[in-house]
Amino acid sequence: MQRFFVEHLFTGSAWVEGACVEVDSAGDIVSVTANGSSDGIRLPGCVVPGVPNVHCHAHQRAMAGLAERSGPASAAASRPGTESTAAARDSFWTWREVMYRHVGRMSPDDLEAVAAQLYVEMLEAGYTAVGEFQYLHHDPSGKPYASPAEMSLRCLAAAEAAGIGLTSLPVLYTSGGFGGQAASAGQRRFLCTVDTFLTLVEALEERCSANHTVGIAPHSLRAVLPEDLAAVLGGFRGEGPIHIHIAEQTREVEDCLRWSGQRPVAWLLDHAPVDGRWCLIHATHMDDAEVAALARRGAVAGLCPTTEANLGDGLFRAADFLAAGGRLGIGSDSNSSVSPVEELRWLEYGQRLDTRRRNVLAGGAGRSTGRNLLERVLAGGAQASGRAIGRLAAGCRADFVVLDTDHPLLVGRTQDAWIDSWLFSGNRSLIREVWVGGARRVADGRHLDAEAVAARFGGTMQALLRRS
């Protein structure tokens, strides 16, 4: 048993001053008591729960910053009447082609090295758990590896090496577009039948632990036929969460309307048993009825504000969704940014720019925007991760972040003002330590294995980029 003394503890829903936190040898919190004895490991400053990252494609960390150059004029852009500007040429869809080319070079070793570096960066940024939405199942030619779970197991190995909590979300991908369109060459690595997919899930489930849970992720309505969706939901015997990309791009909404007569979120709510076990990634383009219905179902909207901005997706209707009682989580998705601070800032700032108001997501008069956002993504993130995280209370994992209250940006503050200042001021990390399952992973702002992991990653990137 470990005992911590915390001067200022935010449990995820309340502040406790002078808290004593007891953690068992498995890394679970046994008790949190106020004004307890001050012996044990003294955590300097203020402690908040680690943030769950609900949506990540680790492999895309290897191309962060490498799709920011305007592409060649495409056939579509040079059609008469179409403006031939960079903005007209470059889109989510052209980015996806660049991403597929990067994907085409990555071996299992490469993925493991990239994911380990990424997870180290996540921990340093205050994420203590990640939902890995993994779809590179086969080799670049589409040939299966000896184990169908090869690439997912590499992500697990990276998570274990870095010491981050993991929800494996292996992806079912059966077609190239709505209505069972053939997959392109760039999508060959992703394809699998429902049966093979369920074998993959079982192989991962054998590796479940206190720090690792397994859910499933039908990729999107574009990539999974209704009969495959029904089959995988029927065949999955586990209790983990169900994640799906939805309604990210307006073209996707138009294609879905043409295919089914319904918008994507409306179609999914009508054809799948969406409830609190589900996490709908992006859900950017919803009409009023979809916003209300999704909130009522209790599913989490998995928002990835920096990626949604980077890819030109559009703005999630956060104020409306929260007003309807909707639940939120945040994800780093393409990993061009790896920071809960930046995700939450973009989430609020998008709303401010759109409405020309301030403190849009504070949740009521006199409330703290940072506290409200943090509370919501801790609770929604835990729900979408399918793990006992996001709260510092008995029965939850001892996953927490120690903020540097001596830093000039935090000094002199108390309680909610620490959270607001952490999330809305400055540009450097204000994190001193990060603990996961009662084990310290970050000290003085640096992951304890940062150097070794970065050295391996550096070698991998040199080789990967030489191959391009």
Q: Judged by CB under 6 A, does residue 188 bind ligand NGQ?
A: no
What CA–CA distance (Å, rounded) separates 39 from 380? 33
CB of 130 to ligand NGQ, least distance (A): 15
State which residue, 211 or 336, has the beta carbon closest to ligand NGQ.
Answer: 336
State which residue, 58 or 448, has the beta carbon closest to ligand NGQ.
Answer: 58
CB of 154 to ligand NGQ, least distance (A): 17
Residues 134, 375, 348, CA angle at the centre, nearest 5°? 80
Q: Judged by CB under 6 A, does residue 333 bind ligand NGQ?
A: yes
Q: Judged by CB under 6 A, does residue 57 bind ligand NGQ?
A: yes
Amino acid letter, residue 24: D
Residue 312: which H helix or E strand, with range?
A: none
Among the listed residues 55, 137, 212, 282, the single catalytic one is 282
Amino acid letter, residue 40: G
Q: Return the residue of 96, 102, 352, 446 that touches ligand NGQ, per CB under 6 A.
A: 96
Which of the listed partners (ligand NGQ, Zn ion, none) does 284 bind, with a CB threshold of 5 to 8 Å by partner kind?
none
**CB-closest chain residue to Zn ion:** 333
Site string for Zn ion, 327-346 (x = CB under 5 A): ------x-------------
Judge whether 125 and 338 are in contact, CB under 8 Å. Answer: yes
Active site residue 8: no
State which residue, 16 or 256, has the beta carbon closest to ligand NGQ.
Answer: 256
Q: How many residues bind Zn ion (CB under 5 A)?
A: 1
Judge whether 6 and 19 are in contact, CB under 8 Å. Answer: yes
Long-range contacts: 294-297, Cβ < 8 Å, 24+? 294/265, 294/269, 294/321, 294/326, 295/321, 295/324, 295/325, 295/326, 295/327, 296/324, 296/325, 297/269
State which residue, 243 or 245, has the beta carbon closest to ligand NGQ.
Answer: 245
Tokens representing residue 179 in the block = 């209505």
CB of 172 to ligand NGQ, least distance (A): 12
Q: Return the residue of 11, 53, 168, 307 that touches ligand NGQ, per CB under 6 A.
A: 307
Active site residue 282: yes
What CA–CA distance (Å, rounded) separates 219 from 173? 6
Amino acid letter, residue 52: P
Q: What is the DSSP string of 45-82?
A: EEEEEPEEEEEE-GGGGGGTTTT-SPPPPPTTTTSTTS
State which residue, 285 or 447, has the beta carbon closest to ligand NGQ.
Answer: 285
Q: Judged by CB under 6 A, does residue 297 bind ligand NGQ?
A: no
Nearest 5°: phi and psi at 16?
-125, 125
Residues that bind Zn ion (CB under 5 A): 333
What are the catalytic residues? 282, 333
Residues that bind ligand NGQ (CB under 6 A): 57, 96, 220, 245, 248, 307, 311, 333-334
